[in-house]
């Protein structure tokens, strides 16, 4: 779930999908570029360490930052997939 959840949320927001459709989109994006998913998990782990080290001061900053990075990755992946399929 750590790999798929950020991409599922981002895919759902960008494409207007909900539920299983968003989960399917997130799974496809993780399968398409798994290294990006692992990178996002690593950034999340580093962010969690930063939150713990600052006694929770950075908590309001880390989650939005992580989701912003996920949304940017998702948009880039969707553009790449659309370009390969000739949709744009």
pLDDT tens string 37-72: 999 999 999 999 999 999 999 999 998 999 899 999
- State the CB neighbour count (10 A cutoff) for residue 70: 25
User: Residue 88: pLDDT band by 50, 70, 90 thresholds?
Assistant: low
> Domain limits of the chain?
5-85
pTM above 0.75, yes or no: yes
Entry field: residues in the chain: 88
Residue 76 reports pLDDT greater than 70: yes
How far is CA 65 from each of CA 13, 21, 24, 40, 82, rounded to the nearest angstrom? 16, 25, 24, 11, 26
CB 3 within 8 A of CB 41: yes
């Amino acid at each position: 779930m750590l790999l798929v959840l950020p991409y599922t949320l981002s895919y759902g927001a960008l494409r207007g999908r909900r539920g299983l459709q968003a989960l399917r989109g997130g799974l496809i994006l993780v399968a398409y570029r798994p290294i990006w998913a692992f990178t996002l998990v690593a950034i999340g782990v580093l962010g969690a360490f930063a939150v713990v080290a600052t006694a929770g001061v950075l908590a309001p900053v880390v989650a939005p930052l992580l989701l912003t990075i996920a949304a940017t990755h998702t948009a880039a992946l969707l553009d790449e997939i659309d370009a390969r399929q000739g949709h744009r």
